[in-house]
């Protein structure tokens, strides 16, 4: 099949053929003026790892006394391997929606704040305070720039329009899972959302989702290659560091894939495969480095073992004495 047919099938398998890219907004930010929405953090002097939940509840109760005239709205996002969703909890109602699975948890959290503002716009002008347990989202909203999340600009625009219409809107961070009622309700509602809002996905989320999906397919395919020489050395698909010396890096790479001039030259020249005269078997990287008894004494001297695996020799960090061993047996210039 053609590339386009294969790509279409891939998008369909990942449920991406229905996804819609979220358009990038037209950004009109003056660089000499800071842009963003400041947020409250009554808990900033308390480390969550060392603060009991009761302390947080007392702090929140005191905070609500100070802002009792602000109507509370709690938001939360949720992300699993199969679902991305968010929830908004108002005094008399709870709204929860699913997003496209390719959306990140950051998108879910910021979408929850945007949806809260959208719902607030349907009510008469009043004072509202939106609570979120995503500090990263609130920090991102407090300092906007041209690379900010596209929904951050939508939030700024809607917030400014609400303020112009007589609303007073505050944002506030709250710690998660400490017993704050509204936050707990939002957390549960987000995880159990069933209604689908839309399939719009930011470009960065879309690209990250595809990269992860491609990597997963690559890893599954790699795991099925039981006869692949390299897989016994590199069982997991990941980036390995390269050596600073290009010659040494080339040597290590050829040994890892099992293809050297000495062991594979015969295929190009139409000759017989080289044989080990002592073991009466075809020469291979495995045989030369780990098996042939001709080199046992040199293995003991270089590796303190007469039998060492290719994984130990050619793994993520090659054995420090591998290159001296190759030179001592005369194999180095034949690789």
Clarify whether residues 195 and 240 are in a common domain. no
Which has the higher per-residue pLDDT, 128 or 224?
128
Q: Are 189 and 107 members of one domain?
A: yes
Do residues 211 and 329 both lie within one domain? Answer: no
Regarding whether 83 and 35 lie in a shared domain, the answer is yes
Q: Is the pLDDT of residue 227 over 90?
A: no
Neighbours of 250 (CB within 10 A): 12
pTM for the structure as a whole: 0.79
Rounded average pLDDT over 148-167: 94
| Band (32; pLDDT cuts 50, 70, 90) | low
Range of the domain at 192: 3-215
Q: Report residue 25's pLDDT band, with 50, 70 and 90 as the boundaries.
A: confident
For the stretch 271-330, pLDDT in tens is 999 999 989 999 999 999 999 999 999 999 999 988 889 999 999 999 999 999 999 999
311 lies in the same domain as 261: yes
Per-residue pLDDT at 28 exceeds 70: no
Same domain, 191 and 270: no
Cα dihedral sign for 119, 121, 127, 133? Answer: positive
Q: What are the DSSP calls for 201-265, one per residue? A: E-HHHHHHHHHHHHHHHHHHHHHT-TT-HHHHH--S--PPPPPSSHHHHHHHHHHHHT--HHHHH
List Cβ neighbours of 291 (8 Å cut-off, separation of 6 or more).
Answer: 279, 307
> How many domains would you assign to the chain?
2
Q: Which of 19-23, 174-178, 269-273, 319-323 bottoms out in mean pLDDT, i.e. has the lowest?
A: 19-23
pLDDT digits (tens, 9 = 90+) for 233-277: 998 888 999 999 999 999 999 999 999 999 999 998 999 999 999
């Amino acid at each position: 099949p053609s590339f386009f047919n294969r790509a279409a099938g891939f998008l369909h398998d990942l449920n991406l053929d229905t996804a819609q890219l979220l358009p990038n907004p037209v950004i009109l930010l003056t660089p000499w003026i800071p842009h963003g929405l400041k947020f409250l953090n009554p808990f900033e002097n308390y480390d969550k790892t060392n603060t009991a939940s009761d302390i947080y509840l007392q702090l929140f109760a005191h905070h609500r006394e100070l802002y009792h005239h602000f109507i509370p709205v709690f938001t939360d996002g949720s992300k699993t391997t199969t679902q991305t969703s968010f929830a908004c909890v108002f005094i008399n109602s709870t709204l929860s929606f699913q997003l496209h699975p390719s959306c990140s948890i950051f998108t879910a959290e910021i979408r929850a704040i945007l949806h809260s503002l959208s719902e607030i716009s349907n009510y008469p002008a009043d004072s509202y305070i939106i609570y979120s347990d995503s500090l990263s989202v609130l920090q991102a909203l407090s300092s906007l720039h041209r690379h900010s999340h596209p929904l951050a600009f939508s939030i700024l625009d809607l917030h400014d329009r609400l303020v112009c219409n007589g609303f007073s809107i505050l944002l506030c961070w709250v710690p998660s899972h400490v017993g704050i009622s509204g936050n707990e309700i939002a957390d549960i509602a987000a995880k159990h959302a069933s209604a689908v809002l839309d399939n719009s996905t930011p470009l960065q989320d879309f690209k990250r989702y595809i990269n992860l999906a491609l990597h997963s397919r690559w890893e599954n395919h790699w795991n099925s290659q039981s006869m692949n020489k390299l897989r016994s050395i590199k069982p997991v698909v990941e980036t390995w560091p390269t050596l600073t010396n290009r010659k040494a890096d080339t040597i290590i790479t050829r040994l890892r894939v099992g293809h050297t001039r000495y062991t594979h030259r015969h295929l190009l020249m139409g000759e017989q495969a080289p044989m080990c005269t002592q073991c009466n078997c075809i020469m291979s990287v495995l045989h030369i480095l780990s098996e042939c008894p001709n080199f046992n004494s040199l293995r003991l001297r270089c590796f303190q073992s007469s039998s060492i695996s290719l994984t130990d020799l050619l793994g993520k960090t090659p054995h420090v004495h591998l290159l001296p061993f190759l030179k001592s047996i005369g194999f180095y210039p034949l690789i």
